[in-house]
Amino acid sequence: MIWILLLVLLLGAVYGPGLWVQRVMRRYAEPGNRYPVTGGQLARELLDGCGLNRIRVERTERGDHYDPQAGAVRLSAEHYDRRSLAALTVAAHEVGHALQHTAGYGPFVWRQRLVRAVGRAQQLGAVLLLAAPVVAGVLRVPGVAALFLLGGVLSLGSGVVVHLVTLPTELDASFRRALPLLRRSGYLYPDVDPPHARRILSAAALTYVAQSLASLLNFWTWLRVLRPGP
């Protein structure tokens, strides 16, 4: 019974944040024509208002994000083209990251460096996991193979640590930058929208953490690949 409870708690910790984020975004995706501008139009308006005319606003299929290398705010089609509260709020959140970048906000700069380092660490982790059974078969030293396996698992899990450590950067983009922009835009209904926009901004801040937690389940895929056959 205790193992079932632990499994439920583990699944809740891994899936819970992601499910909450999805639920919030679905709830405020409708009505899709609530405001006079789309998410893409609002992002352009906010950037121009901050003097960031050089930063592009683009539609993407890779999820909402700000790309500092390309100098672009990228929004999914549902947020770029729609006029929902979710669309406008997510657009403002990504503009918040553009403001962080332009201002040289220290935690944002360090987050970018950590993300690049984690990308390399995760590639190394995949190599270590694949190499573990080969090492075990060739060297016949279980301890070395176990170290390879542990190193791979820790490397692949580094993304979760990075997003947890840099969560304040996401919260800053949401509440110190995006929320004031939304209020000044004049599009929100002041007596109704602010608490709902706060909920969406919280979900936007947790998006990367939720995705990283869910990616931990890839470990089970790797373990199935690495498990020796009968």
Token readout for 25 is: 């975004």
Output DSSP code: residue 227: S
Query: What pLDDT sits at residue 3?
Result: 74
pLDDT top residue among 69 and 166: 69
Q: Average pLDDT in the 155-176 region?
A: 78
Handedness of CA 119, 112, 195, 75 (dihedral sign): negative
Would you call 33 helix, strand, or coil by DSSP?
A: strand
Rounded to two decimals, the pTM is 0.77
- pLDDT reading at 199 higher than 60: yes
Task: Tell me which of 20-29, 88-97, 121-130 is least confident.
Answer: 121-130
The pairs formed by 148-151 with CB atoms below 8 angstroms and a separation of 24 or more are: 149/226, 151/124, 151/125
Which residue shows structure tokens 């993407």? 60
Residue 225: pLDDT band with limits 50, 70, 90: very low
